[in-house]
Amino acid sequence: MTTPELVRFEEVTKTYRTARGRRLSALDRFSMTIPQGRTVGLLGPNGSGKTTALKALLGLVRPDSGTIHAFGHLLPHDQRHVAAHMGALIEGPAFTPSLTGRHNLRLTAQLLGAPTRAVDEALELVDLEAAADRRYAGYSLGMKQRLGVAAAFLGRPDLLVLDEPMNGLDPEAVRDMRLLFGRLREDFGMTMVVSSHILAEVEQVSDRVAIVRDGRCIADADLTDLLAAGGPRLVLRVDDPDNARAALLGHGHHTTARTGPRGTELRLDETAHGPDILKILTSQGIYPHEMTQESPDLEDVYVAAIRAATTADPQNGEQT
Ligand SMILES: Nc1ncnc2c1ncn2[C@@H]1O[C@H](COP(=O)(O)OP(=O)(O)OP(=O)(O)O)[C@@H](O)[C@H]1O
Ligand SMILES: [Mg+2]
């Protein structure tokens, strides 16, 4: 049985005009799906189009072409029919600093026509009951972001749209946010789309990933499928990583250098045959200390998707 889709973007294109009249392509035939019950991590570098895509879904920007199907409606034509299905936190929460967290949420509840009881439930959900009667101005960034999620959740939407909800949070606040997403998913069956430019965050909170680059969605799949599709990666430890990278690149093998607790390791970007790699290195007088095989992680998937997209469309250029 396939999971129903709540949202489907098809070939959505959006070009902004800057104040100087320059055209700036933010979305370029952007396609992705949001299946029910999933937490979709919308992953991409700064300026890749994540916020624009979410704004198009919410009706805050109007695409030039392409379609968005959401909750059985076609956007932007039927935008007013889908508003109640979505709760959003875009580009940080907007609350009144001088009012308490509870007061701010009550105002949001009034706007949505949600019962006062929903405010208490939302405060409990985001673990802000103890701080509910303090002024919003005195909240930490993590508390502000959690109150923003509470406001998005107040109307009990079918889909939560959260733009960079973990941006700028310290590791403990990121952990709180991760636990909150777990509760929303498990206790409320919530579907979520969560954007981020940080791989590790997306890997920790999502079970589905859409990778955006230059306004295009270059991968859109369940995380387990993405990871299973990539084969094992060879990982090398050598004395002179730069030299080894150059030697391998000379034979068409791309690598990524990662620095961890054990120093710098080189990871092959695609699956490769161990003996072939050793032959290349030793023929140039490079003798690895260690060569192991590891299962791919999201960074491997990300690198491979970007490489594949660059090969398919060389005018995009390559970033390393
Ligand atoms: N209102 C606007 N006017 C003109 N250009 C814009 C506007 N909003 C976004 N852009 C441009 O569109 C492109 C995509 O921007 P967008 O904000 O969607 O990216 P993003 O992936 O959310 O980036 P970030 O990670 O920095 O939030 C960028 O080149 C950006 O400069
Ligand atoms: Mg953004």
Burial class (CB in 10 A: 0-12, 13-18, 19+), 156: middle
Sign of CA dihedral 75, 76, 81, 84: positive
CA torsion 255→258→264→267, rounded to 10°? Answer: -30
* pLDDT value, residue 97: 95
- Beta-bridge mates of residue 257: 266
Helix (H, G, I), strand (E, B) or coil at 33: strand
Strands 233-237 and 255-260: what pairing?
unpaired
Looking at the domain 232-294, which fold is it? Alpha-Beta Plaits (3.30.70)
Ligand 1 atom showing the smallest separation from residue 197 Cα: 25
Q: Tell the residue number behind the tokens 């690598």, with chain if given.
A: 255
- Locus of tokens 């690198």: 303
Task: Tell how far the Cα of 247 is from the centroid of ligand 2, in angstroms.
Answer: 38
Q: Which atom of ligand 1 is nearest to the CA of 17?
A: 4
Question: Domain coordinates of the chain in residue numbers?
Answer: 5-223, 232-294
Query: How long a stretch of residues is the chain?
Result: 320
Alpha carbon distances (Å) from 292 to 199, 265, 273, 274, 295: 23, 11, 12, 9, 10
- Out of 25, 28, 43, 50, give the residue to mutate to test ligand 1, the one with the largest number of ligand atoms within 8 Å of its CB: 50
**pLDDT number for residue 305:** 85
CA nearest neighbour of 91 among 67, 62, 58, 119:
58
Tell me the C-alpha distance between 23 and 25, whole Å.
7
Looking at 3.40.50.300, 3.40.50.2300, 1.10.260.40, 3.30.360.30, the CATH number of the domain 5-223 comes to 3.40.50.300
CA 166 to centroid of ligand 2, rounded, Å: 12
CB 266 within 8 A of CB 235: yes
pLDDT reported for residue 319 = 44
Owner of token pair 């919410």? 58
Alpha carbons 316 and 301: distance in angstroms, whole number: 19
- Tens-of-pLDDT digits for all 320 residues of the chain? 577 999 999 999 999 998 888 999 999 999 999 999 999 999 999 999 999 999 999 999 999 999 999 999 999 888 889 998 999 999 878 899 999 999 999 999 998 888 889 999 999 999 999 999 999 999 999 999 999 999 999 999 999 999 999 988 888 888 988 999 999 999 999 999 999 988 888 888 999 999 999 999 999 999 999 888 888 899 999 999 999 999 999 999 999 998 878 788 999 988 899 999 999 999 999 999 999 999 888 988 888 888 888 777 655 544 44
The token pair at 295 is 């299962």
